């Protein structure tokens, strides 16, 4: 099984005629994802080069193709409207890849999408993949393999690295979810951990966090209080110089609350295996997923 996406996913690509949208639409189609429609205002009635119909609006695309999921590749100034348009069209899952969406925009988008019963993943994320079933976003399919490990990560590139190590070690994945590192995102660690805990095919979970904020500490409490499945964690930024502003917009350290040391201590208190390097995740998963 998998979480959030599977063989029944019917995907709309918002921004399918743009540079990024067209490139990744072809990648998703080649992987086997059911891409049923594209949306680019003003280009309705045309077809994407693989034959996928293009519509002017998301509501038109959903009505004509019975789509249930969308992935968004539009420039930051238009991403908020794209997410809200998708929610208005009744889509149950909205994945926004766009980087640089203003935080102020997300203060409007998050409650708007939630009120309409949709799940938002992102923005500024690599999306998700259920190996052998469906891929929504930009995670390379060739590094993944079907198996019993769930993965959730704030970091896109570390998602790829850890998945690659797992696959090479024969530890396939049920679903890999990149939630993004922005201060406001639609789906957090706890949402994913809860989904993996409920998924009978997932036997162990890998959680990749970063310095900044307290999401990892909140997730560790959830693991300690709720989860029965083993969870292995890794925190990026362990060697970051004190006081240095790092990478993601969410990587803001306030006192000791967002430091790597504080997050690692929370993981250890929750009984999680903690990796010092990304490759160490493999041995920890093997030890705990027996």
Residues marked as catalytic: 248
Instruction: For residue 208, give both structure tokens.
Output: 């990749």
CA-based nearest residue to 18, from 65, 75, 67, 69: 75
Q: Which tokens go with 103?
A: 């935080």
Structure token digits, residue 85: 């348009």
Beta bridge partners of 74: none
Can you tell me the distance from the alpha carbon of 165 to that of 149, in angstroms, rounded to the nearest whole number? 12
The answer to whether the beta carbons of residues 175 and 2 sit under 8 Å apart is: yes
* Distance separating alpha carbons of residues 169 and 156, to the nearest angstrom: 20
Dihedral sign (CA 173, 168, 124, 265): positive
Dihedral class, residue 54 (left if φ above 0, else alpha if ψ from -120 to 50, else beta):
beta
């Amino acid at each position: 099984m998998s979480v959030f996406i599977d063989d029944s996913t019917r995907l709309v690509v918002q921004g399918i005629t743009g540079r990024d949208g067209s490139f990744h639409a072809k990648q998703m189609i080649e992987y086997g994802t059911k891409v049923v429609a594209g949306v680019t205002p003003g280009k309705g009635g045309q077809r994407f080069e693989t034959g996928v119909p293009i519509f002017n609006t998301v509501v038109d695309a959903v009505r004509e193709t019975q789509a249930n999921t969308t992935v968004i590749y539009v420039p930051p100034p238009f991403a908020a409207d794209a997410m809200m348009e998708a929610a208005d069209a009744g889509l149950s899952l909205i994945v926004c890849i766009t980087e640089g969406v203003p935080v102020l925009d997300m203060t409007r988008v998050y409650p708007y999408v939630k009120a309409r019963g949709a799940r938002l993943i992102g923005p500024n994320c690599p999306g998700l993949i259920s190996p052998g079933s469906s891929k929504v976003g930009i995670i390379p399919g060739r590094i993944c393999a079907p198996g019993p490990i769930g993965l959730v990560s704030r970091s896109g590139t570390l998602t790829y690295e850890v998945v690659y190590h797992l696959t090479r070690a024969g530890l396939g994945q049920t679903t890999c979810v990149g939630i993004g590192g922005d201060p406001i995102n639609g789906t957090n660690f706890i949402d994913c951990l809860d989904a993996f805990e409920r998924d009978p095919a997932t036997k162990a979970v890998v959680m990749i966090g970063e310095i900044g904020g307290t999401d990892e500490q909140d997730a560790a409490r959830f693991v300690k209080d709720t989860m029965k499945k083993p969870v292995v964690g890794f925190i990026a930024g362990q060697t970051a110089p004190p006081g240095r502003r790092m990478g993601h917009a969410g990587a803001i350290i306030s006192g000791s609350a967002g430091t790597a040391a504080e997050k690692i201590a929370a993981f250890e208190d929750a009984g999680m295996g903690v990796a010092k390097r990304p490759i160490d995740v493999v041995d920890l998963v093997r030890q705990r997923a027996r």
